[in-house]
A and B are shown apart, each in its own frame.
Chain A
């Protein structure tokens, strides 16, 4: 592999524009590197070489004419939750085996409109339900990072394939979806930047639904600037998604590198959980010092309902999922299993098509919405969600941004947490609050732990204020000077 794929998105798009490299050359190289890595990393679920090369050739034509969008010619990997026309889209589930959408998701269409080139679909936890990519029907994705550990580590989840592919320099950006932390936790585990904007900033149309009021499509980038370029391309109002924000999209890229002097940064005491490894606490303190040195004012704040965010999430998300996933009935798309009557066809199809974690969550969702339990669980959780939003509203009266760790650990060994659902769910303890409140949040790589594995810091800002998030993220990135890459073994 040449060093071409090691470039950042912002560098490679400049090289493409300067005609130092062609989109076709780049796409060919990315395809061959990705296919060669597939046996080891298992990050991809589908390729469509013809589509990739046709899109690259069209990019070359535009570039030759001096035209082209902000992502022109860059190969991008797409989470298997996004409908890409004519390409297998399965949400890493057996129930959607063979499904090839006849339409394009709004977010991917916007990326193609900016000249992005489709590289491949990436693996994920089935229906985005997981934090380790182990529930994918095609098996676990492997993190390119090993550090000094033995064995295979998870890239996190649910957008693990997208994180792994980017960390291994197989693409220049990738898409994920973040319902409880599914972009930010894998970003933290793989030394990449992961972002979700304000709820509604990116359209959910054409994205396989998990929990509609919590689902945030967003990007992974190699740098803060790359992630800003990608979110910029993905964002914007979409009449096809009733919760899509009508607001203009600010210039996210311009916010990268803007001075953070005088910004007030909140440090929430409730995030200093008992189980936090010392190294993560230290990294967090270091982040505070970096921002202080950059001229920020640090403010101790309280988000008192933080500990209730995960249990509230595990009512709201499964409830919405049980409703969304009712559409998989074996009639109009996906697989169908035989049965003695219609009810048995439904039941057999869903038992055969959904994996254990998805079945578990559908059942929890069904239970908390069932007669007699709705008020005690679902309504209660929605009220707690209001309390969590009020925590943020109160904090943002005092501060402009909040700094926390992204995840309670570094990448862990595959299989080490799959026997205890709650232990797995705790991966999202720092990220899930921003989903419940719908506020923008990102993870930026800040350093390595003693095993040589990346750790991320999270920046959370006010609804619609992604710009401050990108400015603070860039300040952390500058101060951290994180340039480490996993040693190539794949």
Chain B
């Protein structure tokens, strides 16, 4: 499988990264190089093999479902690019 310039634009859009106009060709080359390299995985027989989603082989405990934190509004807002009167201020998203 290989990607085209249009694919790169589509991926950038999906990833919410502004179209890297001057680097599209470079990215096509780099991504195709990587995908070609990754294609060697097709040599591996994975018939009947379960996908591994975590390296943890042991039962993990579940904590009690209770509120253990809170009342930290100012801490939550401390790093906001913009906030006012205890709220995040974000660009208009509903027309």
Contact = CB atoms under 8 A, between A and B. Distances in A.
A387 B46 contact: yes
A338 B54 CA distance: 38
A199 B3 CA distance: 34
A332 B3 CA distance: 34
Central interface residue in A326, A339, A350, A383, by most chain B CB within 10 Å: A383
A275 interface: no
Contacts of A1: none
Interface in A47-104: 98-103
Nearest to A421: B30
Given A311-B40, A311-B41, A359-B17, A334 B55 contact: no
A254 interface: no
Contacts of B67: none
Contacts of B42: 380
Interface stretch (A12-20, A287-295, A341-349): A341-349
A239 interface: yes
Given A213-B53, A334-B79, A322 B15 contact: yes
Contacts of A100: 78-79
Given A351-B17, A387-B49, A332 B79 contact: yes
B79 A99 contact: yes
B37 A246 contact: no
B50 A351 contact: no
Contact of B34 (A200, A347, A421): A421
Given A308-B40, A350-B18, A351-B18, A389 B91 contact: no
Interface string B31-57: 101100110111110100111111111
B12 interface: yes
Interface stretch (A132-140, A361-369, A394-402): A361-369
A336 B63 contact: no
Contacts of A381: 41
Nearest to A304: B44
Contact of A422 (B34, B54, B81): B34
Interface in A382-409: 382-387, 389
A109 to B, nearest CB: 15
A386 B18 contact: no
Contacts of A448: none
Size class of the B contact interface (CB-based, 8 Å): 35 or more
A484 interface: no
A370 B78 contact: no
A363 B31 contact: yes
Interface centre among B19, B33, B60, B88 (most CB of A within 10 A): B60
A200 B50 CA distance: 21
Contacts of B13: 347
Nearest to B58: A245
A331 B88 contact: yes
A248 to B, nearest CB: 12
A384 B41 CA distance: 8
Given A308-B41, A312-B41, A366-B15, A376 B1 contact: yes
B88 A350 contact: no
B58 A247 contact: yes
B60 to A, nearest CB: 7
B18 A363 contact: no
A416 interface: no
Interface of B: 1, 3, 7-8, 11-20, 23, 27, 30-31, 33-34, 37-38, 40-44, 46, 49-58, 60-61, 63, 72, 75-76, 78-82, 88, 90-93
Interface of A: 98-103, 199-200, 213, 237, 239, 242-247, 305, 307-308, 311-312, 314-315, 322, 326, 329-336, 339, 341-348, 350-351, 354, 356, 359-360, 362-364, 366-367, 370, 373, 376-377, 379-387, 389, 421-422, 436-439, 463
Given A342-B90, A347-B13, 16 more contacts: A200-B60, A245-B60, A308-B43, A314-B34, A314-B37, A315-B41, A332-B79, A339-B91, A347-B16, A360-B27, A367-B3, A385-B51, A422-B34, A436-B52, A437-B55, A439-B55
